[in-house]
Amino acid sequence: MTLKQRIIAESKRLGIDKIGFASAEPFYELEDSLRRQKELGFNSGFEHQVIEERIYPEKTFENPKTIISIALAYPTKIEEKVPRDEKRGMFSRASWGIDYHDILRDRLTKLIDFIQSQAKSLEETEKWRFAPQVDTGELVDVAVAQRAGLGFIGRNGLLITEEFGSFVYLGEIVTNIDFEVDEPVPFGCGDCTRCVTACPTQALLGDGSMNAQKCLAYQTQTKGMVPEEYRKKMSNVIYGCDICQLVCPYNKGKNFHFHKEMEPEVDTVYPKLKPMLSISNKEFKETFGHLSGSWRGKKPLQRNALIALANLGDRSALPEILVCAKEDVRPVIRGTAAWAIGKLGNREAEKWLGILTELLEKEQDEEVIVEITNAIERLEK
């Protein structure tokens, strides 16, 4: 067996669902798109900021020869029944189970250890170099995976694999070892535009790129006020968005439970919303700290929980929402709580108008003042 064949065999033993080998040549095909995205202000700000380093692997790795790309399939359906006891939020599927960054880093580290063990001499071991990356690195993961033959980049910008659809986590290893590379997978969406049509904010541009500022997954991760135009469209999702994946024909019937670390706990990924409003830092870390969806801290998730309660019409939560509006030191939480009161307080409009008017007299933050004023106007109607 060649070294490549031994690596492929070991990858299966390690629980890697797909593996491919790509040339480390520059990704010239990305340049126009990446520059256009930046010029138009379509980036989320979470991307690696130096475009040249995203295109040229040699900018961050000396003498790169090959990029080994891996994919792990994740579940799309929860095996436990979601209780209907009270209103619950939802984390998108990519945030179920243990943070995928940790899972992928574990697999990449073990794969590198194996490759090093296959060196024929100490000299070869010292010569070989590796740089593992998991979506926080310089390279564009989907472009690497497409070149490595794992799948193609769909109209929604996600990698679509034949076996697992787009429900895969991606990671890669840049190395100075020269491997025989795999064939890239050609575009497979044809005339289908279901993801583009289904996107509630028209974030998808249809060519594999998007206006990330409009993407609901991005909006759930910001730390400021969510623009009002996006709030209703978030429904009860407090982190991420799965819509463009759920409508994709390649994802129909796809649901894989290969990795126990990815298995979701119902009370964690479908959390009760009211308790989230008063959760302590310690409780938040214990309950949600292992999820990739917790990386921005509890404030965005509490803000999103307020939005979800309003979208679900949960008037029973008004006492808890009022506590947020009156007592929370964070303007984003006070402002979002005021908006939620404006949505939920219509059956007792006089009562809530009085409360909001009192809040308005004491409030000093301009953004919160705008939200309270808008909520008052809504209830007056």
pLDDT of residue 59: 96
pLDDT at position 286:
96
Of 279, 312, 345, the one marking the end of a domain is: 312
* 340 and 292 assigned to the same domain: no
- Structural domains counted in the chain: 2
For residues 331 and 370, give the distance between their C-alpha atoms in angstroms, rounded to a whole number: 11
Same domain, 260 and 372: no
Hey, which residues are catalytic here? 135
pLDDT in tens, 220-255: 999 999 999 999 999 999 999 999 999 999 999 999
Model confidence pLDDT, tens digit, residues 136-154:
889 999 999 999 999 999 9
* Residue 47: predicted pLDDT: 83
User: Quick one: pLDDT at residue 90?
Assistant: 98
Residue 230: what pLDDT? 97
The reported pTM is 0.94
Query: Which residues, in sequence order, are CB contacts of 303 under 8 Å at separation 6+?
Result: 225, 226, 332, 333, 336
The pair of structure tokens assigned to 174 is 């840049």
| pLDDT for residue 99 | 97
Domain shared by 252 and 354, yes or no: no
Q: Which of 261, 278, 312 is the last residue of a domain?
A: 312
Rounded CA-CA distance 76/86 in Å is 23
Q: Are residues 164 and 104 in the same domain?
A: yes
Q: 256, 287, 312 — which closes off a domain?
A: 312
For residue 343, the enclosing domain spans: 315-381
Residues lower than pLDDT 70 in the chain: none
Cα 375 to Cα 321: distance, rounded to the nearest angstrom: 13
| Structure token pair of residue 30 | 């990305």
pLDDT of residue 48: 85
**Coil, strand or helix at 201:** coil
H helices within the chain, ranges in order? 3-13, 31-40, 51-55, 100-117, 122-127, 141-147, 194-198, 216-219, 228-231, 243-246, 266-269, 273-276, 281-288, 298-311, 318-327, 331-344, 349-362, 366-380
The residue among 248, 70, 261 whose CA lies nearest residue 165 is: 248
Per-position DSSP letters for 313-334, written without gaps between them: T-GGGHHHHHHHHHH-S-HHHH
Q: How many CB atoms lie within 10 A of CB 82?
A: 12
